[in-house]
Each structure stands twice: as structure tokens, then as C-alpha cells.
Amino acid sequence: MKLQANAGGKTFLALLALALIAIGQFMWAQNLGSAPASNVAVQGQTGAQPEGAFLNFINWIGNVIAPVGAGGAVLGAVVSWLTGRGFGRWLFAGAALLAISGVTRLIEFWITNGTGGVT
């Protein structure tokens, strides 16, 4: 897609609007209401414990980033198929992101339940 010189302002405004919408969603998602949650990473853990920080990271990748990326890849496959281009790489990317989600959920399960067998 080539951007035209006279359409630059419209493109900038559209990107700015999308950025503001995305930032607003993130700010709304971070609202904890009236109860502050300081120095708390996960239930039973504190932010100072590596297990809590690692579990938060794994949970974020497995539950948020990978599934949303997989949905975007499937949408990319549909658009590529409709325009007559190759869509196999998009489907492969979607399946790979769902596999990453499954593996990170497995790691999350191991972190939360695996400590009972270690003595």
C-alpha cells in the first residue's frame, strides 16, 4: 500500500485515533477500583518473589497476547484468501500462536502445582 502525500494527514489522524483507543483500553483495564493492590503479583505471591513475576509474565503471554495474535492471523488468512493470495502462512502462524498459548498455560500449571512434589 503506497501512501499518497495528500492522504498523509488522514493516515496520521487515523493512526492517532487508533492509538488513543488502544491506550484508553489499557488504562481502563488497569483500574483496580477503590482497593489498591500494591506489591502484589499473584495470589499468595509478592512482587519481590521471582515466581510471582514469572507467573504473571507467563499468564499474560498465554492468556492475552498469543490468542489475540492467533485471531489476527486467522483474520489475515481470510483477507489473503479473499484477495486471492496465499493464506497458508497465516493459518500456520495462527496455529503456532495457539500452540504457544497452550504451552504457556502448561508452564503456568507447572508453576502453580509443581511445587507440591518438590521437597
Cβ contacts of residue 94 below 8 Å, gap of 6+? 69, 70, 71, 73, 74, 77
The per-residue pLDDT string of the chain (119 residues; one tens digit each, 9 = 90 and over) reads 554 555 666 777 778 777 777 776 665 555 555 555 555 555 555 555 666 667 777 778 888 888 899 999 999 999 999 898 898 999 999 999 999 888 888 877 777 776 665 54
pLDDT of residue 118: 54
Query: Is residue 22 packed enough to be buried (19+ CB in 10 Å), middle (13-18) or exposed (0-12)?
Result: exposed
pLDDT of residue 57: 77
Cβ contacts of residue 89 below 8 Å, gap of 6+? none
Q: Where exactly are the structural domains of the chain?
A: 36-116
pLDDT of residue 78: 92
Cβ contacts of residue 51 below 8 Å, gap of 6+? 45, 111
Positions of E strands within 37-106: none
Distance between CA atoms of residues 111 and 53, nearest Å? 11
Which residue in 32, 11, 14, 10 sits closest to 22, CA to CA?
A: 14
Contact 66, 104 (CB under 8 A): yes
pLDDT of residue 119: 47
Contact 41, 56 (CB under 8 A): yes
